[in-house]
Amino acid sequence: MKVFLTVFGKPRYLGLVSESETPVLVPGEPVVVQTSRGEEIAKVAGEISGEQADFYVRSNEEGAKDGVQNGEPGLQTVVFVRQATEEDIVLDEENRVLEEDVLLGARRLLGEHGLAMKIVDVEYLLDRKKLFFYFTSEQRVDFRAYVRDLAREFRTRIELRQIGVRDEAKVVKGIAPCGRPCCCSYWLHAFMPIGIKMVKEQNLALNPSKISGLCGRLMCCMSYEHNVYRELWKDLPNPGSKVKGPKGNFLMLGVDVKEGSVLMRAPDGAHFSVEVALFDQFREKVAAGEDWAVPSIPRSNGQKPVPPIHERERPQDKASPRHPARKVQFKDQPVAEQPQKEAERDDLPLEDGVPKKNSRRRRKKKKPINLDQSQLNQVDEKKDTLDQGASVPVKKKRRRRSNRKKDVVSGGEGEK
């Protein structure tokens, strides 16, 4: 017996078609099925095996707590009615257009009632005999009067379905921070339980704006690579642990999945990697006070082996035209003898055997004064007068008179 998986409804319910007389269905083909809600159009996802069907049942049970509340289950058995005709497809498109006007009218009525709820979306069934309203609310709401007004307005059977914040993003079908549509809106069939421990094990920044989705919860993609990290952390201590030893504490910063190693920080601030298989040996040596030699990684293509981290050349150690190369001293290395600096230079004058300092301050040159013949005669006359002992009149500075007028106060005793 063949089993086909179908998807229907805006909340993306899953349906299993398992009748023996069902024809061979093509993936992506629209079909009309009978669900617990009524007749509606579903899209064929493909044929699945019995093991895959059991997997969908188990995953749906695990994610049922965060799904649609007080509504249909996320996975159910449906009955194949017929393959969708052109009339069914046109009617379904007309329903999608009509739902936009219904949504605006429902929100207008909600403002008149003043209920603490948010209408997310509406959905018509194929025959328009039932109209579903999906809403979110943080508290319990009495919407009986609101439902009566909706039924009077749209002349059909009304059903309200309360959904969670994750289902809201699933129905609205927004764009995720990665630039693609949200996984829950086009392929994810059930929500996985996600905790902050998954974020820590993957060495991700604990920034809510970077690890949260449109729904405000942790992004579903946090669980995609978690199994790989969990296998790597299985024989290791928790992230951020310290390996204590007589020479100091070594801090565990994270893991490198591609290299299969652990990134450590030494007490002196140096960073190095330790293979996961050698971590127990590294911990024993550190506890005993022995030095850990980082092994070099051989190359099979004839290249030179990669030197340890403490022997690699860093960018800041390279020489430049402005700054010479700096010597970096590591632990357990002999101190290199520094050459003595020459005290004398040929390009500087000596003063008592010590080179003079080059003063950068320059003296300003006096500009020559150019005078006419008449001005020179006046200078000679003043010079002769000074030689004879005559006094030269000095111009007195004139005081600036204040333009402010004195205030005259008339009173009984006199004036001020």
The backbone torsions φ and ψ at residue 158, rounded to the nearest 5 degrees and listed phi first, read: -110, 135
CATH 2.30.30 fits domain 233-294: yes
What share of the chain has pLDDT > 90, as a percent?
Answer: 16
Query: 19 or 189: whose pLDDT is higher?
Result: 189
Q: Look at the pTM and tell me if it is higher than 0.85.
A: no
Residue 259 has pLDDT above 70, yes or no: yes
Task: Write the pLDDT tens digit of every residue in 124-149.
Answer: 999 888 999 999 998 888 889 999 99
- Cβ atoms of residues 99 and 92 within 8 Å: no
Q: Where do the structural domains in the chain lie, given as residue ranges?
A: 3-171, 192-225, 233-294
- pLDDT category at 410 given cuts 50, 70, 90 is very low
Task: Write the pLDDT tens digit of every residue in 237-257.
Answer: 877 888 888 888 888 888 888
Nearest to 12 by CA among 166, 158, 135, 119: 166
The b-or-e profile of 368-404 (16+ CB within 10 A means b, else e) is eeeeeeeeeeeeeeeeeeeeeeeeeeeeeeeeeeeee
pLDDT given at position 233: 82
Helix or strand (DSSP H, E) at 100: helix 86-113
Task: Write the pLDDT tens digit of every residue in 341-389.
Answer: 444 444 545 555 555 555 566 666 666 666 677 777 777 777 666 666 5
Q: Are strands 118-124 and 130-136 parallel, antiparallel or unpaired?
A: antiparallel
Task: Write the pLDDT tens digit of every residue in 303-327.
Answer: 454 454 445 555 545 554 554 544 4
The type of residue at 294 is V
- Phi-psi map region of 37: left, alpha, beta (phi>0 left; psi -120 to 50 alpha): alpha
Q: What is the DSSP letter of 176?
A: -
The b-or-e profile of 268-284 (16+ CB within 10 A means b, else e) is eeeebbbebeebeebbe
Nearest to 294 by CA among 302, 303, 285: 285
Q: How far apart are CA 183 and CA 220, in angstroms?
A: 8
